[in-house]
Amino acid sequence: MKRFIHLTYFIFILFILNIPSIENVDRSNFKTCEQSSFCRRQRKYKPDISPYEIDLNSTKIIKNGHLRFLLLNTLKSHIKFKLEIFTLEHNSLRIKINELNPIRKRYEVKYSLVGELKLVNMNITKSDEKQIEVNFGERTKFLLNAKPFRLDLFTNDIFVMSVNSNNMFNFEYYRKKPESNKTATNNNNEDGMWEETFKNHHDSKPYGPSSIGVDVNFLNFENVYGIPEHADAFSLRSTHDSDPYRLFNVDVFEYDILNPMALYGSVPYMLAHNEHTTVGFFWLNSAEGWIDVNYNKLSLKNFFSTNTNFFATQSNTKNNEIPEVTTHWMFESGIFDGFFFMGPTPRDIFKQYTVITGSVPLPPLWAIAYHQCRWNYIDEDDVRNVLNGFEHHRIPLDVIWLDIEHTNGKRYFTWDISKFPNPEKLQDDIAIYRRKIITVSDPHIKKDDGYQIYNEAKTRGYFVKTKDGQDYEGSCWPGSSMWLEFFNPDIFKWYSQRYLFENYKGTTGNLFLWNDMNEPSVFNGPEITFPKDIVHYGGWEDREVHNLYGMLHHMSTFQGLLNRSNGHIRPFILTRSFFAGSQRTAAIWTGDNSAQWSHLKITIPMLLSLSITGFGFSGADVGGFFNNPDPKLLVRWYQMAAYQPFYREHAHIDTARREPWLFGDDNTRLIRQAIEQRYSYLPYWYTLFYKQERQGIPPMLPLWANFPKDKKIFKSEDSFMIGNGLLVYPVIEADINQISVYFPGENTVWYDIQTYTQYNGSETVLINVDMESIPVYQLGGVIIPRRLRKRRSSMIALHDPITLVVALDRNYEAKGELYMDDGYTYDYRRKRELIYRRFTFKNNELRSTSLDTTAKFHTDAWIERIIILGYPENPSRVIINSGDKQATPLHNYQEASHTLIIRRPGPSVTSDWTLSIS
């Protein structure tokens, strides 16, 4: 980015190009399905009868839980495929289809899976020449139809998913390139099979066509979700009149919202939910992908009759029609490696997916607090001034970030010493407040003989190669650059070692990392990324592994940070590009959004889509990266993001400064309050992140995850939940003084977290809002731990007292958890230094018990206050017992709001105690 561009230049450019305005994405930089030849071929493939058939005589039981069949294409009988079925623990099924004897080995992704998958027994209940029926898991089964090939899946005997029921399974086997002669030249490249040109970028396609298409259909469902990353609705929209949703990691400059274009990361994982069941389908494939979504009514008359009984229990079988979501998945290469998660509940689904790909590990406490970033904090003085601003304005802060300009000419692992002459001192000073610093490190390496990293990588041959074996050179921030070949384990390791203190000079244990531009972004590459015929380690083309590059980059960084502390300190890395499995080692953000109300709004569906596909630690740039937010938008953004997992302000270098105190006293106060609310709920957030590590449940959830039967909320994307306790309805419109809030769940009761006003479930209420308002409601039945004391940073507050907010349900009961540990090391795993408490309110008694009695953690933290919401009357006495101690803490009852506040009950958070109210 040029710092000073002359006015005359600007005028001249405008003059010659006649650009009306430079605002949104240049869509012509990215392929449409029509322009991506395999998508074009696959999308139009729809025979009346599928030519694929299973030879049931070939059935082979490899072991219990693993079957193998031959799959044939009756039109090309010489090509044989093998189809393997694995029944996995937790109601999951894996189907792999590959060529039996491919002339070139087909790529299988290994990085996404965590360890060996555990098989469970399958019970073949029926087997004849037409089909085979197998029970597995808990009341789940599949039915494999042989002619044509088709797979039907059932949860609790209800038909939920079907593969190839629309005959779109289409496997392009590897073939020899036809001999070219003059007359046949055109035919040889029929439909872009053997080469393809996009905007002057030629894709040589030396191995020809290799794509796979398949239809996966969700029966009796009206909503499907997931397949991030798209700036689009949460409940996926029909692609009938648009391109399919695209999965291809690219750097999209100033992306548009509400369209299926690809963005920075890809997770080929889709969920479907209805009031009975939640299911999921994950196709592990790292090539470019396209997914069509269509909403249909399926006529049962046309469906084969034996299945009709599976719908009998459904209410909407009138006219013999049921809803169906048909999806058509197309990938450019690789194999079919499909995982079917059978649910049946949302929580089961979260578990099932994260058992396969891993869950977000518990982040350090400070990482879920507030982050201040900008492209760029210019120098040490600037950083110190910003930190002083937070001190002066009494705004809590945990992390300050340094973007690319802190380096010496975009040479990562270096500092611009004219601006940062003493980075260690800076980090040490920041550490006094237990704050952290994060620097950016991108995967492109400046082509410069004077740059040690470049030289070493060049000499050792560590750069990504072109199809001709030359080092691939492209352009990015530093100008001419090369990219590291992370697929090679030696290079992966070497790169990770660059993060060791001895190699990354000027860093201390208080510095963590940010991996940006890792799609990778190549300014002059096709679609601003690598050419597809680049050859990676092992001979794989970028075509086959493209969507993994960013993940390998941040995995290597993670390894480096882990090794830096000998495995003692939890790393933190933020990545822009990601793939299924990235959640194990990095947090992600939604990239370069914009300071517009529409972008504020889209944040909710984008983060929900990420949450349910494994990325529970994600966020969007507060305020919007591009352009200048007006103060109202900025305040609203701070208010919303205070309730989203990753909370970071970030801004483009061309924007005006926007530290929280630059918009007048009122706005400073509003922003401070929003950030303070975040900090007050950190004990709850941290507990939720621990649960996520253990159970795969993301902290930020769609409403239906907690109220799966409430049909009104299946498309909700103006609201979300934090855990099972907080319902958030952020104000996302510019000029409104009322919002409509629907309280989900039958017989539920909700409490405004500020006023304690009660609302009933299944009701829609108009709520008045002003600039102070952050409409958030606590669910009756849930106990939430908070810290109502204020501190400068989260780590400083680590041992501060806790306030319990007990929101009673209609039976005057509630429960909740509190997790605590040292906030930054792995001692919670290695030495089990943690506390995990369960609080239960029942029969006028609040009990604290341990959920993990083998664990212990020393803390001075104590319970300073208990707030009981929805308590019916003023009690005469409150007694607390802990071991042999007894006390009668004072209490105060607020008649109007039915709130009972118990003053200074005083037990340690680590102890068992019982509070009795009479």
Partner 1 sequence: MMFLFYVNLATILCFFTSISNGNIQQTVLRGVQTSLLSMYIPSKPFTCLDGSLTIPFEFVNDDYCDCQDGSDEPGTSACPNGQFFCENKGYFGTLIPSHFVGDGVCDCCDGSDEYETIIVCNNTCFELAQKFQASRDAQRALHAAGVEKKKQILASTTTNKFGRQFSQKHLDELEQDLKILEKELKEKEELKRQVEILENAAKEKHKKLCEEKRTMQDVSLRNNQMHEMFADLDTNGDSLISIDELQKHTELDTNQQNEFTIEEVRSILGSDSVNLNEFNTTIFDQISNSYRQLPEPTRPTPEPTPLPEPSIDSMTTQSPSLETFIDEEDLTTHTRSSYKYEDEDDYEEDHHRESKTLATSIEHEKHIHDSVAPEYDDETKKLMEIAEEARNRYHEIGEKFLSIKHQIEDLKKQSTVDAGPHDEYSPIIDQCFDYEEREYTYRICMFKTAKQISKGGGSEVIIGYWDSWCGPKDNKYLKMKYSNGATCWNGPPRSLIVTLQCGIEQKLTDVREPSRCEYTIIFETPLACDENIATTSLHSDHVEF
Please identify every residue annotated as catalytic.
Answer: 516, 592
Please tell me what DSSP assigns to residue 243: P
Shortest separation between residue 525's beta carbon and partner 1, angstroms: 10
Nearest to 102 by CA among 72, 79, 136: 79
CB nearer to partner 1: pick between 371 and 374: 374
* CA distance linking residue 246 with residue 330, whole number of Å: 9
Q: Whole-number minimum distance, CB 854 to partner 1, in Å?
A: 24
List C-alpha distances in Å: 460 to 471, 494, 501. Answer: 11, 11, 22
Phi, psi for residue 67 in degrees, rounded to 5: -115, 155
Closer to partner 1 at the Cβ: 695 or 908?
908
CB 642 to partner 1: min, Å? 16
* SS3 readout for 201-225: EEECCCCCCCCEEEEEEEECCCCEE
Give 644-688 as a DSSP string.
Answer: SSSEEE---TTSPP--TTTTHHHHHHHHHHHHHHHHHTHHHHHHH
* Residue 58 or 911 with smaller CB distance to partner 1: 911
- Cβ nearer to partner 1, comparing 29 with 850: 29
CB of 681 to partner 1, least distance (A): 14
**CA–CA separation, 806 and 901 (whole Å):** 10
Q: How far is the CB of 430 from partner 1 (least distance, A)?
A: 9
Which amino acid is it at 824?
A: Y
Residue closer to partner 1 by CB (options 79, 378) is 378
- How many helices and strands, by DSSP H and E, does the chain display? 16, 51
Which single residue is written with the structure tokens 């299924």? 580
Q: Report the residue number, 449 or 502, with the smaller CB distance to partner 1.
A: 449
CB 260 within 8 A of CB 239: yes
DSSP code, position 81: E
Residue carrying the six token digits 């001075």: 860
Q: Pick between residue 46 and residue 393 the one whose CB is nearest to partner 1.
A: 393
CB of 141 to partner 1, least distance (A): 52
Between strands 587-589 and 618-619, the pairing is parallel
Q: How far is the CB of 400 from partner 1 (least distance, A)?
A: 12
User: Residue 164, class by beta-carbon neighbours within 10 Å (0-12 exposed, 13-18 middle, 19+ buried)?
Assistant: buried
Q: How many C-alpha atoms does 417 have within 13 Å on its Cβ side?
A: 5
Nearest to 749 by CA among 817, 815, 807: 807
Residue with tokens 């993990």: 852
**Distance separating alpha carbons of residues 17 and 383, to the nearest angstrom:** 39
Give 200's contacts (C-beta < 8 A, 6+ positions apart). Answer: none
Q: How far is the CB of 564 from partner 1 (least distance, A)?
A: 24
CB hemisphere CA count around 164 (13 angstroms)? 25
Q: How far is CA 545 from CA 41, 334, 444, 541, in A?
A: 21, 9, 18, 7
Q: Encoding tokens for residue 891?
A: 């209490």
Query: In the complex with partner 1, which residue's Cβ is closer, 654 or 772?
Result: 654
Q: How far apart are CA 680 and CA 714, in angstroms?
A: 30
Tokens representing 895 are 């008649």
Instruction: Find out whether 652 and 253 touch, Cβ atoms under 8 Å.
Output: no
Which lies closer to partner 1 via its Cβ, residue 214 or residue 651?
651
Handedness of CA 99, 101, 107, 109 (dihedral sign): positive
CB of 824 to partner 1, least distance (A): 14
Residues 567/569/575/580 CA torsion (nearest 10 deg): 50
Closer to partner 1 by CB, 385 or 452: give it. Answer: 385
Strands 776-779 and 749-752: antiparallel
Closer residue to partner 1 in complex, CB, 216/252: 252
Q: Which is nearer to partner 1, 70 or 386 (CB)?
A: 386
Shortest distance (Å) from residue 39 CB to partner 1: 20
At 739, which helix (H) or strand (E)?
Answer: strand 738-743
CA angle 131, 137, 139 (to 5 degrees): 75
Residue 341 or 377: which CB sits closer to partner 1? 377
CB of 778 to partner 1, least distance (A): 16
Q: With contact defined as beta carbons under 8 Å apart, do 268 and 244 qualify?
A: no
Q: How many Cβ atoms from other residues are within 10 Å of residue 283's Cβ?
A: 24
The helix (H) or strand (E) run that includes residue 143 is strand 140-145
Cα separations in angstroms, 200 against 196, 524, 527, 586: 10, 11, 11, 35
Q: Find the shortest distance in angstroms from Cβ 329 to partner 1.
A: 30
Tokens representing 774 are: 């952050």
Shortest distance in whole angstroms from residue 283 CB to partner 1: 32
